[in-house]
Structure 1
Amino acid sequence: MLLATLIHRASLPCPQVSQEQALQLLEQHYGLSGTLQALGSQQDLNYRVDSERGRFVLKICRGDYAAVELQAQHASLEHLQQHSQVRVPRVISALNGEQLLTHTLDGQTLHLRLLDYIEGQPLTHLPHLRREVIAGFGRLCGQMSQALATFEHDGLERTLQWDPRHAHELMAYLLSTLANLPHRAALERVAEQVQQRVRPLANRLPWQAVHMDITDDNVVWQRDEQRHWQIQGVIDFGDLVHTWRIADLSVTCAALLHHAEGDPFVILPAIRAFHAVTALEPEELQVLWPLIVARAAVLVLSSEQQQQLDPDNAYLLKNAEHEWEIFRVATCVPFELMEAAILTCVGGALPALASESFAPLLPNLVGREFALIDLGVLSAHFEAGNWELAGIDQRLLQEAQAVHGLAASRYGQYRLSRTRPDSAMEPDTCALHVELCVPPASVVQAPFAGTLRCGDEGLLSLHGARLTVRLWGVKALPQMDATVREGQLLGEVDGALRVQLCRADLEPPLFCTPSRAQAWQALCPSPAALLGLACDAEPELDPDALLARRDASFARSQKHYYLDPPRIERGWRNHLIDMQGRSYLDMLNNVAVLGHGHPRMAAVAARQWSLLNTNSRFHYAAVAEFSERLLALAPDSMDRVFLVNSGTEANDLAIRLAWAYSGGRDMLSVLEAYHGWSVAADAVSTSIADNPKALSSRPDWVHPVIAPNTYRGEFRGPDSAPQYVRSVEHNLAKIAAQHRQLAGFICEPVYGNAGGISLPPGYLQQVYALVRAQGGVCIADEVQVGYGRMGHFFWGFEEQGVVPDIITMAKGMGNGQPLGAVITRREIAEALEAEGYFFSSSGGSPVSCRIGMAVLDVMEEEKLMENAQLVGGHFKARLQALVDEHPLVGAVHGSGFYLGLELVRDRQTLEPATAETALLCDRLRELGIFMQPTGDYLNILKIKPPMVTSRRSVDFFVDMLSKVLNEGL
């Protein structure tokens, strides 16, 4: 009887009701007229109704459905409106006062209902769901489950094809009847595996009323002002049934696999969120993954059947592809792995191995001391990128064995050698085994009784009652029996020995990704007990606790990137590496022009520190040599150098020089600019992104002029210089009218804070002439743009064809060492002496000077300016191509490795896409790229990577950028 009911239900085609007929039914029974839009459904017919009285949903289902079942849906909606914060549709009564109508049309018996419409959209076809959205689904599912726990109705006692209690019978039937079924063997295997896992626990699972369809189709969302998705409500209660409580979450998680991009672990935030709302029982946690897989199988089988029954149903055809994707993702990992992942993600754990007793695996080495070799991210064995050499880990172990006799790696350590630069995929860095270098022919014995098997690539595995030990590098004894006892001799070591434990009869990887480490380590515990060796990796600092310590002691105005920043402790060239060995492409660190971890910097700094580091009031050669090198790079008119610690200090000193030389204090600065954090440098900084009160807190000696932004400024295009110069003329006239002496004008020669926008041609030539005519000096802030970053010019002011009076520089000068400079003419430099001597405690120290000269040497030897020109040119061309592909991309600014990508919602109004830019940066971080917004509206990507950035890195960045833009922001 059960099977017959399931077959009948699964075989029902969609009702045949045209739009014209539906409009007649609306008019006849509800007194409504308007327009209809078909909404997708597998077995029902749904129309959106736009009428003069509002928007509704007309639901039409076959008369085969018992009226009591539909009445149960209506009762559940009323129950939820009273007992839950979850928004659900209201049922609209017909003209006769009834909520459920039965009507005969063209020989079909139909049930009619009208519900109000919840505005928003489902997320079915959104390619990527953010973690908070996935958690939102789980939280909603938990809230719904909690609210329905007290709901009862006779109509819930129904036989439904989606009820997982019947999944085995339904799969068996459909597998036997569907011809030419894709992936039949996989579906048959899944059916059996699910049954084996669920049947023993079925009678212990909690029951209640469940929605059974909280999916990306049936949850309605809208974006808020920050472009974050917010839940608006839940629709479609057609699968409401009384069954296992865990069924609801299994349905939700299965739907989320469509957005998983091949990784089933994406559902874990949903499970944690559900568990936080209403705690799951141990048995529910055990059966959850088998039920998810069962749902995936039933989805594809049911879809195949419905397509045969209703081949013209566009909704079915559209959904079939993502249903097969759900099945593919659900079957791409072992059951045991996802079961362990689900258990551990809510704080559960598999039984510990502490109570197990083993015979020693290497009996002749018991009590011998091993050298445990650090192969992790912070290992002192790694330098100058040597971890990228093939076989480096094994070489380090062999070298240690040569010295100490015995050497071993650490279980559970994240291996630096396995990091993968320029990859969106999380690298498999976590070691699930131990490697040992021991004397050849060392005896190996069975740690427990079991069955011995030989596998590929020299694998010898011993399968016990509860554990399997997997060995590589063991030469088994000839004629070894398949069944061995504990302590029985297995063979001897023949090469590097690798040891791995596993709880299940699996073929686990030797390494896994950080996101899967907790689950895999639960299945593949440390073999320390077999080895008699404390070989486990030291536990990491808890990242949340470390961040809390920072917030508790480090002034909060000193911000960090990202809300949950990864812990970065190592870098190499144009990549930064976190503690799990994930390599992030660094696209914003304009300080490290040579890249991170450069061996020349380490050697020069170490050498000079071993000799001396003091201040510039002592006499040593480096300060003179470095000053001469800087002057050789500056315009011929400049002959004096000040060495300081930072760009802020350089700009502060430049302003003081302008005051001293001119005798005045009034400064012109450009709107939207940033020059530093000291009192004077902050005073001339007008960026509201850096200081929201910037425009209202300028002292009276600062006169901001209109930003010459040729893209979104008051005047646009390359011929706009004269219009922007008028703002300068106006302010100069105002200063002159007040009989005040102008001190100077400070400006980035390329508009850095606005994304690297070039100033309109001729702008600085005209402004510099006006300023000098009024006795002021012209300061070129080259802190970000200078030092060859633009590729075609060493200094940014060269693009404008001008020579400033003062150049300020920092950032890339020291490749991260605190180092800045002010370069000027003698008469300007010596004007400061009237106010006393100048001194910067660490400015021009021997260490800084030596590093500064090494930076210049490396830039020349490695042709970094040429790299900025060639690779930077390719970079801009690829970014420019995005303008034609993605409406959100408004413009590309800059040149070389000083670029900005401006995102706008409308290319006519140039409305800034601020929220989208923030989301994009967060998503890029997930894909292995560090990027941050800039500009007053924070809608510009600040693209200023190390000058060693390669073409491969550029292509990876642009490909990922395009991917995210295609996902929809």
Structure 2
Amino acid sequence: MSSPATAYMINGFDPDTAGRLSPQEQDLIARRRQLLGPSYKLFYEHPVHVVRSKGVWLYDPAGNAYLDVYNNVPSVGHCHPRVVEAISKQAATLNSHTRYLHDSILKYSEDLLATFPAEIGNVMYTCTGSEAVDLALRISRYGTGGTGIIVTANAYHGLTSAVAEISPSMGPNVPLGQHVYVVDPPESYRDEGDLGALLAGRVAAAIRDMNRHGIKLAAFVADGIFSTDGILTEPAGFLKQTIDVVHAAGGLYIADEVQPGFGRTGTHWWGFQRHGIVPDIVVMGKPMGNGMPIAGITLKPEVLERFGADVRYFNTFGANTVSIAAAQAVLDVIKDERLMENAVTVGTYMVDGMRQLQDRYDAIGDVRGAGLFLAMEFVTDRKTRAHDGATSLRVVNALREKRILISASGSTGNVLKIRPPLPFRIEEADIFLKALDEVLAALR
């Protein structure tokens, strides 16, 4: 039986089963637990031990290659040579903070802001996505005078104290903040009618309840692809009515782009752009630097005006020169290697292949995706559309044994979370689809 802490992490390793692993793996797990403590979790029933990486591949100590169909942080691929070179060159030249003048942060900021709508004109830097969300909350509350935050039912936005309080997916042992309200996101697979109106109505109801309790709305926070709510990609545009409701109530719209951002959806640089909206604040995470400690927010200048005038902000090594060099290289690689176009081409190919599998396996209720962010949802019955998290996790772990790495999403873990690095090619997609077919056939 899984421990309570493990039970609240989808696709988590149960340390009580370590005895069936090799002596070397048992030793590593025991040392890890002793040194890092019990809060650190591992993926998969059989944890993966990796020692090096390249492109879309990870390698274990024996040299076995694992196809990475999951990790979005190395957005342009593991150990991309241009990113490695940029980091190495800058580390050998200067690594310093933002209180000295330096051109590289200005050049990168200009290039980054050029990917956003014209209304968004300022950028602030942090080291992690959690810090970025934390900063966005501070600015929202300071500028609006409100304290209420609305998030979706299984959202994950980070792990500082303030941000864990708006992350329901952390489980019941991490309480939500007293002024945090939760709404269900709309599901194209289950909900009927106008999904935009449905979500906007739920947000409006939450705001009315807030007001009834003397709470003023500060912000609505959403990941535009609902990465932990089950990867909800359709229909594009359903967030338009919600942003209007939020603004009418005096709140701000915070778009969490840690997972869907930097071209992952293919058609747009940022997930919110698929919905035709302009958020007040946009949050980015470590895909910005391919895993280097750099993240940040972009925002409308009028949103920052009061906070910026009254509050001194400084993040000691947020946007340090080495991390900025990595971020610049990532942005350049996405453009130069046409990785957004690749996300559309390969993502479409993968969705088509997964839908062919859906025609053959009744356990697959739905297939959906945007660029290289894809979902396959399992159900116990296609008529009732009841969640089947057990089958989903069996597929995840069976693929791991074939050295294919993905994970799961949704409140019950019934959705395969398929999110490879952006250079993923048709050849790798075929490897994944073939292995997925074999696993589904074996589970039938």
Segments of 4+ in structure 1 off by > 4 A? 759-762
What is the match of residue 586 of structure 1? 68
Q: Which secondary structure does the structure 1 equivalent of 2:141 belong to?
A: helix
Tell me, in whole angstroms, the C-alpha distance in 1 between the residues paired with 2:395 and 2:215.
Answer: 47
What runs of 5+ residues in structure 1 fail to find an aligned partner? 1-225, 227-272, 274-514, 516-540
Q: CA deviation at 1:727?
A: 1.3
Question: Could you list the per-position Cα deviations for residues 222-269 of structure 1 after superposition, in whole angstroms to 9, with x for gaps in the alignment?
Answer: xxxx9xxxxxxxxxxxxxxxxxxxxxxxxxxxxxxxxxxxxxxxxxxx
Contact 1:670–1:747 (Cα < 8 Å) also in 2 = yes
Tell me, in whole angstroms, the C-alpha distance in 2 between the residues paired with 1:625 and 1:778.
Answer: 27
Q: 2:219 aligns with which of 744, 766, 781?
A: 744
Q: 1:960 aligns with which of 435, 441, 444?
A: 435
Q: Which secondary structure does the structure 2 equivalent of 1:793 belong to?
A: coil
Contact 2:152–2:229 (Cα < 8 Å) also in 1 = no
What is the match of residue 946 of structure 1? 421
Q: 2:77 aligns with which of 592, 595, 602?
A: 595
Contact 2:154–2:410 (Cα < 8 Å) also in 1 = yes
Question: Could you list the per-position Cα deviations for residues 665-717 of structure 1 after superposition, in whole angstroms to 9, with x for gaps in the alignment?
Answer: 11111111111111221111122xx32446xx2222111122222224xxx14
Distance 1:634 1:956, change over 3 A: same
1:15-26 aligned within 5 A: none
What is the match of residue 706 of structure 1? 184
What is the match of residue 204 of structure 2? 729
Q: CA deviation at 1:796?
A: 0.8
Q: 2:340 aligns with which of 859, 865, 868?
A: 865
Matching residue's letter, 2:203? V
Q: 2:124 aligns with which of 625, 637, 642?
A: 642
Q: CA deviation at 1:718?
A: 6.2
Q: Which secondary structure does the structure 2 equivalent of 1:946 belong to?
A: coil
Q: CA deviation at 1:760?
A: 4.5
TM-score, normalised via structure 2 length = 0.91
What is the match of residue 838 of structure 1? 313
Q: Which secondary structure does the structure 2 equivalent of 1:792 belong to?
A: coil
Tell me, in whole angstroms, the C-alpha distance in 2 between the residues paired with 1:786 and 1:861.
Answer: 17
CA RMSD, aligned part only?
Answer: 2.0
Q: Tell me if 1:691 matches 2:166.
A: no
Q: CA deviation at 1:738?
A: 3.9
Matching residue's letter, 2:88? A
Q: 2:147 aligns with which of 655, 665, 677?
A: 665
Q: Tell me if 1:883 matches 2:358.
A: yes
Tell me, in whole angstroms, the C-alpha distance in 2 between the residues paired with 1:811 and 1:890.
Answer: 32
Tell me, in whole angstroms, the C-alpha distance in 2 between the residues paired with 1:957 and 1:666.
Answer: 43
Distance 1:673 1:925, change over 3 A: same
What is the match of residue 242 of structure 2? 767
Contact 2:156–2:167 (Cα < 8 Å) also in 1 = yes
Tell me, in whole angstroms, the C-alpha distance in 2 between the residues paired with 1:709 and 1:652.
Answer: 28
What is the match of residue 162 of structure 2? 680
TM-score, normalised via structure 1 length = 0.43
Q: Which secondary structure does the structure 1 equivalent of 2:395 belong to?
A: helix
Q: Tell me if 1:565 matches 2:43.
A: no
Q: Which secondary structure does the structure 2 equivalent of 1:611 belong to?
A: coil
Q: CA deviation at 1:788?
A: 0.7
Tell me, in whole angstroms, the C-alpha distance in 2 between the residues paired with 1:649 and 1:750.
Answer: 21
Tell me, in whole angstroms, the C-alpha distance in 2 between the residues paired with 1:796 and 1:596.
Answer: 23
Matching residue's letter, 1:922? N
Contact 1:755–1:893 (Cα < 8 Å) also in 2 = no
Identity across the alignment (%): 34
Distance 1:720 1:810, change over 3 A: same
Q: 1:555 aligns with which of 24, 31, 37?
A: 37
Q: CA deviation at 1:798?
A: 1.3
Distance 1:853 1:761, change over 3 A: closer
Q: CA deviation at 1:562?
A: 2.3
1:807-818 aligned within 5 A: 807-818=282-293
Question: Could you list the per-position Cα deviations for residues 537-580 of structure 1 after superposition, in whole angstroms to 9, with x for gaps in the alignment?
Answer: xxxx9333222211110132121112442320111111101111
Q: Which secondary structure does the structure 2 equivalent of 1:942 belong to?
A: strand
Contact 1:751–1:759 (Cα < 8 Å) also in 2 = no
Tell me, in whole angstroms, the C-alpha distance in 2 between the residues paired with 1:862 and 1:912.
Answer: 39
Distance 1:740 1:801, change over 3 A: same
Question: Could you list the per-position Cα deviations for residues 759-803 of structure 1 after superposition, in whole angstroms to 9, with x for gaps in the alignment?
Answer: 545532111111111211111111100111011111111111111
Question: Could you list the per-position Cα deviations for residues 89-115 of structure 1 after superposition, in whole angstroms to 9, with x for gaps in the alignment?
Answer: xxxxxxxxxxxxxxxxxxxxxxxxxxx
What runs of 5+ residues in structure 2 fail to find an aligned partner? 1-10, 12-19
Tell me, in whole angstroms, the C-alpha distance in 1 between the residues paired with 2:196 and 2:300.
Answer: 28
Tell me, in whole angstroms, the C-alpha distance in 2 between the residues paired with 1:747 and 1:816.
Answer: 22
Q: Tell me if 1:619 matches 2:94.
A: no
Q: Which secondary structure does the structure 2 equivalent of 1:829 belong to?
A: helix
What is the match of residue 376 of structure 2? 901
Q: CA deviation at 1:618?
A: 2.1
